[in-house]
Amino acid sequence: MPGLIAFIGGNEFRWDCEPMDRTLLARVGSSPKVVIIPTAAARENPALAAENGVRYFNGLGAQAEAAMIIDAETARQPALAARVGNADLIYFTGGDPVYLLETMRDSPAWKASQEMLPRGRILAGSSAGAMILGGQMWAPGSGWREGLGLVPTIAVIPHHASLASRWNAARMRASLREGVILVGIDEATALVGPPWQVLGPGEVTVYRGKKPAIFKDGQSVPLPDQETR
């Protein structure tokens, strides 16, 4: 069974995320192994981000641990990459998306993250962790840059309810590379696939066509399924 990708809009590890995350955990079996990757929080408090994630997922019945990948050196460490590769669900926390992108690109840790998907596992990213997974990633102040391209046809606005107007979604879409679809995801809400579906209390907004299309919990989202890698 192919794995799943979960783009999460932010505010991870909180009570309103629990129904969404329980659904994800159920898809990889009982007592799954979860690995928290706090790289995006490396310039703030990665230990706290990791601790929050481990405590949260243990409380949901998982076996959670952290892979303390906080810079380019640790992203190259074979032991940490192996820990990532052995997970049932890996979770990139929020924080600084540019730092996360630059740290993970072309690293053994990122390669291990990709290689676990064909084995039916789940790769989840929240806020900055979601942004890096698309074909392009918005860097506030400098515009679009190339993402890691796990789903090359998607570019994510996290915290969509609060950031869409601040970042100017219309301007973002106008400057987006052709063939990449702008998707806004609310906090505590996930776009999961393929095939793509919404989980959580918020909305997923797809900026395609003349008018944005809005999708809610349980609804299918018509996005390209075959273009993940």
pLDDT digits (tens, 9 = 90+) for 28-47: 988 999 999 999 999 999 99
Q: What is the pLDDT of residue 187?
A: 97
Average pLDDT over residues 125-133: 98
Please give the structure tokens belonging to residue 191.
Answer: 């776009």
Longest dimension (CA), the chain: 48
Residue 205: is its pLDDT beyond 70? yes
Average pLDDT, the chain: 94
- Name the band, by pLDDT with cuts 50, 70 and 90, for residue 1: low
pLDDT of residue 30: 87
pLDDT digits (tens, 9 = 90+) for 54-91: 999 999 999 999 999 999 999 999 999 999 999 999 99
Question: With 80 as the cut, is the pLDDT of residue 226 above it?
Answer: no
**Region 181-204: what's the mean pLDDT?**
97
Residue 227's pLDDT is: 44
Domain boundaries, the chain: 4-215
pLDDT at 228: 47
For the ranges 1-10, 82-91, 217-226, the maximum mean pLDDT occurs at 82-91
More confident residue, 224 or 112: 112
Distance between CA atoms of residues 106 and 128, nearest Å: 18
Q: What is the pLDDT of residue 127?
A: 98
Q: Quote the CA–CA distance of 53 and 38 in Å, as a whole number.
A: 9
CATH of domain 4-215: 3.40.50.880
pLDDT by residue (tens digit) across 85-126?
A: 999 999 999 999 999 999 999 999 999 999 999 999 999 999
